[in-house]
Amino acid sequence: MIGVVDYGGANHASVVNAVDNLGFDYFISDNKKSLDDAEKIILPGVGAAPNVMQQLQNKGLDTYLKLTGKPILGICIGMQIMYETSSEGNTDGLSIFDGKVKKFEPRTDKPVPHMGWNEVRFDKTYSDLNGYYYFANSYYADVSEQTTAISSYGDKFSAMTSIKNFTGVQFHPEKSGSLGYQFLQRFLSA
């Protein structure tokens, strides 16, 4: 059973559709007790860091997520809130990953938000899934020792970051076609 966290305004529909299409049972919840029934947890994408963190704090999910020990996948904003801070509203994150999430600097050839397909290069764990994935983001995290996949939008940034039971992806696997579904299948099946 997959628990999809509801923190208001998130992109639940496409995430649960992908999870369902892959044959996994799921539920959507903002409740710690019900999330205890999940084998894995997804923090879906789309939202603003200050609002998402406020919703998690209001429900006590900020501490719960850090301590649960269950595999957790953060997508887009779900990844960004796993960092120490975000420049979006100068927001404190969950401090799971080291570093700060920053806003892309707009360039003539690189408008912000960054929307579209970009190449992702994974480390050995997912290297067979290297290819193009869909992004929709204005914020990013620098490449670090915790980075497990890299993409580039003017400069290189973390497309995936992993430590212990936490995985965050800046791209949207649920909107990334066959490769995205393969990525989700591997995470959800592991």
Per-residue pLDDT at 150 exceeds 60: yes
Per-residue pLDDT averaged across 152-173, rounded?
97
Identify the active-site residue in 12, 88, 114, 172. 172
Contact 74, 43 (CB under 8 A): yes
Model pLDDT, residue 9 = 61
Per-residue pLDDT at 84 exceeds 60: yes
Average pLDDT for the chain:
95
What is the pTM (predicted TM-score) of this model? 0.96
Identify the active-site residue in 12, 88, 114, 174. 174
With CA atoms as reference, report the closest residue to 170 among 8, 45, 55, 11.
45
Residue type, 129: L
Per-residue pLDDT averaged across 52-74, rounded?
96
Task: List, in order, residues 6 or more apart from 173 with CB less than 8 Å away.
Answer: 18, 75, 133, 180, 181, 183, 184
Contact 141, 98 (CB under 8 A): no
Per-residue pLDDT at 19 exceeds 80: yes
Report which of residues 18 and 47 the model is more confident about. 18
Identify the active-site residue in 12, 76, 88, 114. 76
Q: How is the chain split into domains, by residue range? A: 2-189
Q: What is the CA radius of gyration of the chain?
A: 15
Model pLDDT, residue 12 = 86
Can you tell me whether residue 180 is helix, strand or coil? helix
CA–CA separation, 28 and 182 (whole Å): 22
Asked if 174 is an active-site residue, the reply is yes
Model pLDDT, residue 101 = 98
CATH of domain 2-189: 3.40.50.880
Per-residue pLDDT averaged across 101-109, rounded?
92
CA–CA separation, 76 and 67 (whole Å): 21
Per-residue pLDDT at 10 exceeds 60: no
Measured over the CA atoms of residue 80, residue 83, residue 7 and residue 173, the dihedral's sign is positive
Beta pairing partners, 4: 28, 42
Q: Any idea of the CA torsion for 34, 20, 161, 124, to the nearest 10 degrees?
A: 130
Angle, vertex CA 176, rays to CA 64 and CA 77, nearest 5? 30
Q: With bands split at pLDDT 50, 70 and 90, how would you rate the model's confidence at 117?
A: very high
